[in-house]
Copies of this chain bind each other. A is one copy, B any other.
Amino acid sequence: MSPAGRPRAFDMEGVLEAAMLLFWEQGYEATSLAQLRAATGLSSASLYGAFDSKEGLFKRAVEHYMNGPGTATGVVEDETVSPREAVAALLHGSIDMQADPSHPVGCLIALSGTMRAPGEEHEGVRAAVAARREADRVRIRACVERGIAAGELDADADVDGVTAMIHSFLLGLSTQLRDGVAATTLHAAVDVVLLNWRRS
Residues of A within 8 A of B (CB): 25-27, 29-30, 104, 106, 110-111, 114-118, 130, 133-134, 137, 158, 160-165, 167-176, 178-179, 181, 185-186, 188-193, 195-196, 200
Contacts and interface: CB of A to CB of B under 8 A. Distances in A.
Contacts of A178: 114, 116
B25 A118 contact: yes
From DSSP, what is the main secondary structure of chain A's interface residues? helix
Given A26-B117, A27-B115, A161-B192, 20 more contacts: A25-B118, A27-B29, A134-B179, A158-B191, A161-B185, A161-B188, A161-B191, A162-B189, A162-B192, A164-B176, A164-B188, A168-B172, A168-B173, A168-B176, A171-B171, A171-B175, A192-B196, A193-B196, A195-B200, A196-B196
Nearest to A168: B172
Identical chains bound together, number: 2
A173 B169 CA distance: 8
B174 A161 contact: no
B174 A160 contact: no
Given A26-B118, A115-B27, A167-B176, A195 B196 contact: yes
Contact of A189 (B104, B117, B161, B176): B161
Contacts of A160: 185, 188-189
A175 B174 CA distance: 11
Contacts of A110: 175
B179 A192 contact: no
Max chain B Cβ within 10 angstroms of own Cβ: one of A118, A133, A168: A168
